[in-house]
Structure 1
Amino acid sequence: MQPIIDHIHITVENLERAEKFYDSFLPLLGFDLSLKEHDCVDEHDYHIVEYHSSSISIGLINCRTSFKEGKINRRKPGSLHHMAFRVNSPAKVDALYEQIKALGAPIVHAPQLYPEYCCDYYAFFFKDSEGIEYEIVSFAREQYFPKDL
């Protein structure tokens, strides 16, 4: 069996601000904004913006009013530490770095080789509008993980 993640939902502090950022960011990775959906369940204080691609959906959900004062910390239990998107070449990592930097996203680490992960692990890290950390990475996964696992 091949594990497949279908969708990820991320709670954000400010849904409108996050939607503006993700409207610019996710198309760089192949998401089609014409497939974006909005939904809400008012009685549960639940509003979602969901972005779809052929392989995964990412949803942004408003935080409940009672949690508005909480601060994001990726080391807090239950928190998303970071999410990585793999691309097919170091050149694509570099191109996305320039595009994401142009969006005004805070850069945590510029593109570099991380041989401590594997000999060709090339990545950069940045934060979104809500302070959530992301990574764009390129490495030859199939070299390290044969298809029949």
Structure 2
Amino acid sequence: MDYPCGPGINHIEFWVKNLEESVRFYSELFPLIGWHALNQTSFSCGQHEIYFKEMPISFHENLGVRHVCYHATSREVVDAVGEWLRRQNADIIRGPLEMSHYSAGYYTVDFRAPNGFVLEVAFTPNARL
């Protein structure tokens, strides 16, 4: 089968408790890492799309992804995200810090989004995908 963009992830859907709070958070985070808004509830980096749907409380018990790591184009981007998170009083798990045991130059910040999702923004200059 021929795929025009090659195989990969087309989009990721997040179920959230409060759509307005989530969109406000991501509309500030994503421009820092090179993503842009497609519409009021979805964002793209040009190759992938992430969108958000508010779901009734009964859906929040479902298992999901452990965390999502967004690629940063430089250490400065990771530092900018870390500073923005501090200004937001966000729940920062670790970083910004170097984690060279993953790969040389791996620089990361890990944090929780408003719905408790664990997110990471990492500059990985020597990681092989």
The normalised TM-score by structure 2 is: 0.80
Which of 48, 61, 79 is 1:56 aligned to?
Answer: 48
Corresponding residue number in structure 2 for 1:6: 10
- In angstroms, what is the RMSD of aligned CA positions? 2.3
For residues 12 and 113 of structure 1, what CA distance do their matches in structure 2 show?
Answer: 31
Which of 1 and 2 has greater Rg?
1
For residues 99 and 128 of structure 2, what CA distance do their matches in structure 1 show?
Answer: 15
Secondary structure, aligned partner of 1:144? coil
The normalised TM-score by structure 1 is: 0.71
Shift of residue 126, structure 1, vs aligned partner: 0.8
For residues 53 and 127 of structure 1, what CA distance do their matches in structure 2 show?
Answer: 21
For residues 25 and 114 of structure 1, what CA distance do their matches in structure 2 show?
Answer: 22
How much identity, in percent, do the aligned residues show?
26
Deviating beyond 6 angstroms after TM superposition, the runs of 4 or more aligned structure 1 residues are none
| Runs of at least 5 residues in structure 2 that lack an aligned partner in the other structure | none
Residue correspondences, number: 125
Residue identity opposite 2:12 in structure 1: I
For residues 119 and 5 of structure 1, what CA distance do their matches in structure 2 show?
Answer: 26
| Runs of at least 5 residues in structure 1 that lack an aligned partner in the other structure | 38-48, 71-75
Question: CA offsets per residue over residues 99-143 of structure 1, 9 Å max, x none?
Answer: 2322332111021111221122111101111111111111224x6
Q: Which moved more, 1:12-21 or 1:96-105?
A: 96-105
Which of 52, 58, 66 is 1:66 aligned to?
Answer: 58
Shift of residue 85, structure 1, vs aligned partner: 0.9
Q: Which moved more, 1:124-133 or 1:83-92?
A: 83-92
Shift of residue 61, structure 1, vs aligned partner: 1.3
Pair 1:110–1:13, CA change in 2 (3 A): same
Corresponding residue number in structure 2 for 1:124: 109
For residues 107 and 120 of structure 2, what CA distance do their matches in structure 1 show?
Answer: 10
